[in-house]
Amino acid sequence: MHIYVFSDIELGAGTVTDDFSEDILLKQTIEELQPCTDATLVFNGDTFDFMKTPYKKRYPEHITEKISLQKIKDIQRAHTEFFTVCTQWVRKGHNIVFVYGNHDFDLVFPKVQEQIISFIGKKYHQKIHFSGFEWESGPVIIEHGSQLDNFFKVDPENLLIQREKFGESPFLKLPWMYTALYKHHIQLKEEYPLLEKIKPREKLLKHLPFNFKRHHFFGSLRYILYSFFIDQWKRWSDPLSHMHWKDFGYTIQKLLRGSLHLDVIKRAKRKMRRSKHQVLSIGHNHEPQKLWVGNKVILNTGNWRDEYFIEHNALLPRPKSYADILYESGKVKHAELIYVPSTLPILPVTRIYSELE
């Protein structure tokens, strides 16, 4: 069995908050894959960026099936090549698996799944699978990684809730951090779409003016305090406003420490030590990495959205990456990360300053 894993593609609707633009590169990469045996292409979460896809130019919090269905249609219109290459792949007799991430557990809605199947080709429906938050095959286990992250973990058995007050349709039970990003940070993202694509964050911070940083630090602090001490009590009947004291603790701690990373590796290692699997593939934190845990391997497949690395006076487009895993009769033959150079142009570092103007 030959498995290819791509994570964090983040296909959006072609708006300013859509961070994916290398459609041709992704299509070519998938077209050029040469599986030895029967193969499965795994899209390991955040394939679709429902989070940053607006609905009627806004970002409604109570996300029903109707809203997610419209979003997936808008995403398809902006990224037809993705669906075309999926069709080519299943036509060859191979399989596709969609694993949920924190930007796309809208995939839980049956109509969203049906719509994706119909974009790829209804007659191939048996080749297209939606596996929830995990997928396993022989010695290989694949999950996005957000379930290992305190901020984005959700209860997979209770992804939907319903409250009369918000209409008859069930809506996604988003974790607090999701709503925070969705309500508070999306404005920042719309205003400064480039900043969030730049790594490492520590280096980016050196280029930002003190007043800008102070303004946004206090903005975030105010938002967290307001959410915890006032807003959730004011809107108690809305389950999405609830902020657990643990969330409060984590966010405050992270903000004060200036820690800007998503911690998933520690938990991934722990999970791997206990697991019967030989290979774990994750994504989520956008840091490609091959890591050994004893004789087992963790492959972090990085991401496919547009990201830059600050080096001297330039913003260098980061390479994309995917996992190539082969196993035969339960034994792993190889498990590698493959890097694909980005086709985006190098930007001068001054683009940071022009965005702030």
Report the interface residues with Mn ion, using CB under 5 A. Answer: 46, 101-102, 146, 284
Burial group, residue 230, by CB count within 10 angstroms (0-12, 13-18, 19+):
exposed
Specify whether the CB–CB gap between 124 and 90 falls below 8 A.
yes
Which CB atom, from 46 or from 74, has the smaller least distance to Mn ion?
A: 46
Query: Distance between CA 279 and CA 259 in Å, rounded?
Result: 29
Which CB atom, from 90 or from 198, has the smaller least distance to Mn ion?
A: 198
Q: Strand pairing partners for 11?
A: 48
**Closest approach of Mn ion to the CB of residue 47, in Å:** 10
**Closest approach of Mn ion to the CB of residue 263, in Å:** 13
Rounded (10°) angle between helices 80-91 and 65-78: 90
**Closest approach of Mn ion to the CB of residue 7, in Å:** 8
Query: Distance between CA 208 and CA 188 in Å, rounded?
Result: 14
**Closest approach of Mn ion to the CB of residue 138, in Å:** 25
Which CB atom, from 189 or from 207, has the smaller least distance to Mn ion?
A: 189
Query: Distance between CA 310 and CA 210 in Å, rounded?
Result: 19
Angle at 7 between CA 220 and CA 12, to 5 degrees: 60
Please identify which residue in the block is written with the tokens 């030989």: 278
Q: Which residue is nearest to Mn ion (CB)?
A: 284
Length in residues, the chain: 357
Query: Distance between CA 150 and CA 316 in Å, rounded?
Result: 31
**Closest approach of Mn ion to the CB of residue 273, in Å:** 23
**Closest approach of Mn ion to the CB of residue 49, in Å:** 10
Which CB atom, from 50 or from 59, has the smaller least distance to Mn ion?
A: 50
Which CB atom, from 46 or from 143, has the smaller least distance to Mn ion?
A: 46
Which CB atom, from 74 or from 143, has the smaller least distance to Mn ion?
A: 143
